[in-house]
């Protein structure tokens, strides 16, 4: 939790949380751990907590809904919500698919709605914006919505200026958005999003380098870099309290 606190001190207003087993270091579908980490963060600071529903799926598919429902019931400020399925890129290539059927997306969106958790709509490709629009129409997602453009390349949308401009154009006018690009595109896409009025996500899930060939020492170091960029470009850094207003998230419970 020290890592979250350091990132908060560096200027982060939201933490996106996965859980790793402290012994093995492996990502786990352990909601007890998620709760423990969540509570510890809460003790330390008022940062907005966004818990993953994309990671921590290490359970048989038939048990996945129950595990995620229980996790949503922890009532963090936000949960990530992956807006569609995407092929998984491995070398050598394999048959893996990150499955997010429309029925599942809708079920999870409704649970988030019931628990008062703001979904972070993760968009890996342009068609997923259409799925989000349908979910809004069907009442599973409440507006104003918050979109995260996950520019993964390879099996999803490529991290280019043109694509980011297109994505920002395609979402509802009352929406907020953020970008996270993978690897060496993380900082360049953040630098493009800042003057566009978007928000940014940086951190070890997406990129571990501070600059070419230089490993970042911490998530906080990456946050520090993006804070400097924003300041140079004339954008203020939102406190968690201000970010709650921007994202329509009620004060912390």
Backbone angles phi, psi at 122, to 5 degrees: -90, 120
> How many angstroms separate the first and last alpha carbons of the chain?
19
In the bound state with Zn ion, the residue whose beta carbon lies nearer, of 98 and 166, is 98
In the bound state with Zn ion, the residue whose beta carbon lies nearer, of 154 and 228, is 154
Could you tell me if 156 and 150 are in contact, meaning their C-beta atoms sit under 8 angstroms apart?
A: yes
Could you tell me if 82 and 108 are in contact, meaning their C-beta atoms sit under 8 angstroms apart?
A: no
Least distance from C-beta 140 to Zn ion, angstroms?
21
Among the residue ranges 29-37, 46-54, 83-91, 142-150, the one whose residues contact Zn ion (CB under 5 A): 46-54
Among the residue ranges 50-58, 111-119, 173-181, 237-245, the one whose residues contact Zn ion (CB under 5 A): 50-58
Cα→Cα distances 164→11, 188, 226, 232, 248, Å: 24, 11, 18, 21, 23
Residues 6+ positions from 161 with CB-CB distance below 8 Å: 192
Least distance from C-beta 11 to Zn ion, angstroms?
20
Binding to Zn ion in span 11-40, by CB under 5 A? none
In the bound state with Zn ion, the residue whose beta carbon lies nearer, of 54 and 240, is 54
In the bound state with Zn ion, the residue whose beta carbon lies nearer, of 183 and 197, is 183
Binding to Zn ion in span 178-207, by CB under 5 A? 205
Q: Tell whether residue 52 is a contact of Zn ion (CB under 5 A).
A: yes
Least distance from C-beta 236 to Zn ion, angstroms?
26
Cα→Cα distances 234→29, 86, 227, Å: 40, 36, 11
In the bound state with Zn ion, the residue whose beta carbon lies nearer, of 25 and 250, is 25
Long-range Cβ contact pairs of 199-204 (< 8 A, separation 24 or more): 199/246, 200/226, 200/230, 201/14, 201/16, 201/148, 202/226, 203/7, 203/16
Least distance from C-beta 197 to Zn ion, angstroms?
24
Least distance from C-beta 122 to Zn ion, angstroms?
8
List residues near Zn ion by CB under 5 A.
Answer: 52, 55, 205
């Amino acid at each position: 939790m020290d890592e979250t606190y350091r990132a908060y001190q560096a200027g982060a207003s939201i933490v996106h949380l996965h859980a790793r087993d402290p012994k093995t270091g492996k990502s786990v579908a352990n909601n007890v751990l998620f709760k423990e980490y969540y509570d510890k963060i809460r003790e330390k600071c008022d940062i907005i907590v966004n818990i993953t529903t994309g990671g921590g799926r290490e359970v048989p598919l038939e048990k996945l809904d129950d595990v995620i429902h229980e996790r949503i019931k922890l009532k963090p400020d936000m949960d990530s919500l992956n807006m569609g399925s995407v092929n998984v890129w491995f070398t050598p290539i394999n048959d893996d698919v990150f499955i997010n059927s429309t029925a599942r997306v809708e079920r999870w969106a409704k649970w988030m709605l019931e628990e008062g958790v703001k979904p972070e709509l993760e968009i890996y490709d342009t068609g997923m914006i259409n799925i989000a629009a349908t979910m809004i129409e069907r009442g599973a997602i409440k507006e104003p919505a918050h979109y995260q453009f996950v520019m993964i390349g390879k099996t999803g949308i490529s991290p280019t200026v043109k694509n980011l401009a297109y994505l920002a154009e395609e979402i509802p006018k009352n929406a907020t958005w953020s970008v996270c690009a993978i690897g060496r595109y993380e900082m360049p896409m953040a630098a493009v999003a800042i003057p566009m009025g978007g928000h940014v996500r940086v951190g070890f899930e997406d990129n571990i380098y501070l600059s070419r060939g230089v490993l970042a020492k911490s998530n906080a170091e990456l946050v520090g870099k993006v804070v400097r960029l924003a300041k140079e470009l004339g954008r203020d850094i939102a406190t968690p309290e201000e970010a709650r207003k921007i994202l329509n998230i009620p004060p912390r419970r």
